[in-house]
Structure 1
Amino acid sequence: MERLFNLDAQLLFDACTLAIAMFVLFTLLSYLLFEPVRKMLDERKRRVKEEQDTAKKERADAVVFKEEYETKLKEVDKEAQVILSEARKKAMKTESQIVAEAKEEAARIIARANAEVELEKKRALDEMKQEMVAIASLMAGKVVKASIDTNVQESLIDETLKEMGERTWLS
């Protein structure tokens, strides 16, 4: 009787040798190839985990920095408002100072103008007095020409002086 496949000692020996060779080859390849690949994959997993942890930490830091930045922006806005209000106050103070100085200057100009008007009035009065004296002299000269005696001449001068008034000579 013949068998389908000859299961004899040689076939069993070859099968066992093949199995042992495959096991040795698998073990050798596992040691040479699978171990480095596993180590590389473990190292990659470790790096990816570290990068994820670093990214989470950096994200948390970024949130903190963003909050600090927004807080500082608000503080800067408040400081800007304070500076602007102080500048407005200074501007208003300067404006009121300038207005006060302008009013004082206007008052000085008006006072000076009034003084000049008074001086002009006095000059005009003095000129009128001088003209009156000149007219009186001319009248006296005409009277002298008419050969009036000294008594008449003195009475004319006294009369003219009385007409002009004593105030004219005092001022």
Structure 2
Amino acid sequence: MDGRIFGLDLQLGFDVIFQAIAVFLMFMLLSYLLFEPVRRILEERKNKIAGELDQAAADQEEAARLKKEYEDKLKNIEKEADAILTEARRKALRRKEEIVAEAKEEASGILANAEHEIELQKARAQDQMKQEIIQTAVMMAGKIISEKISAQEQAALVDETLQEMSDKTWLQE
């Protein structure tokens, strides 16, 4: 050895070139077999992630639109509920007025029937009183007359009394 750390000769040059070509070919082969599928997988994953981000953005926009739509519906529901309550109150008041009117009508009918019944009872009572007065008058007159008057005079007196009672007494009431 002549003092060099390693010897450079032609064989070493060929070996280095051969190893460089072998490494290059191996790199090309590995690149084709391993690196290219990995790049494809990474590219697909990148596209998938980009698609998912786009979908997420679209979903977020859709969610914002739906939220606004639901908020609008909630506002409309409150308005509709107020309208329904107002309509229900109006119907209840109308029904209340109908019930009160029916009750007044029924009460007036009951009062009219009661007044009619009172008039009938009053008329019956007057008829009964007439009959009792007549019976009492006849009995009294019979006692008085039987002692002093004959049967013909008695009949004429009863007729005259009845005539006077029917003309004056009963017309006053």
Whether these two folds match at TM > 0.5 is yes
Identify the residue that residue 72 of structure 1 maps to in structure 2.
Answer: 73
1:24-47 CA-partner distances (Å, limit 9, x unpaired) = 111111111111111110111011
- Give the CA deviation at 1:161: 3.6
Identify the residue that residue 24 of structure 1 maps to in structure 2.
Answer: 25
Identify the residue that residue 120 of structure 1 maps to in structure 2.
Answer: 121
1:51-92 CA-partner distances (Å, limit 9, x unpaired) = 100110111011111111111121122112111101110110
1:4 aligns with 2:5: yes
Q: Distance in 2 between matches of 1:151 and 1:31?
A: 161
Aligned amino acid, residue 166 of structure 1: D
- Give the CA deviation at 1:107: 1.3
Count residues in correspondence: 171
Partner SS, residue 38 of structure 2: helix
Q: Distance in 1 between matches of 2:63 and 2:3?
A: 82
Partner SS, residue 4 of structure 1: coil
Identify the residue that residue 135 of structure 1 maps to in structure 2.
Answer: 136
Identify the residue that residue 93 of structure 2 maps to in structure 1.
Answer: 92
Identify the residue that residue 62 of structure 1 maps to in structure 2.
Answer: 63
* Worse overlay, 23-32 or 131-140: 131-140
Conservation of the 8 A alpha-carbon contact between 1:129 and 1:168:
no
Aligned amino acid, residue 99 of structure 2: I
- Give the alignment's TM-score, normalised by structure 1: 0.87
Aligned amino acid, residue 90 of structure 2: K
- Give the CA deviation at 1:130: 0.4
* Worse overlay, 113-122 or 138-147: 138-147
Provide runs of 4+ in structure 1 moved above 4 Å.
168-171
Identify the residue that residue 158 of structure 2 maps to in structure 1.
Answer: 157
Q: Which runs of 5+ in 1 are unaligned?
A: none
Q: Distance in 2 between matches of 1:7 and 1:115?
A: 150
- Give the CA deviation at 1:164: 3.0
* Worse overlay, 6-15 or 56-65: 6-15
Q: Choose between structure 1 and 2 for higher RCO, CA contacts under 8 A separated by at least 6 residues.
A: 1
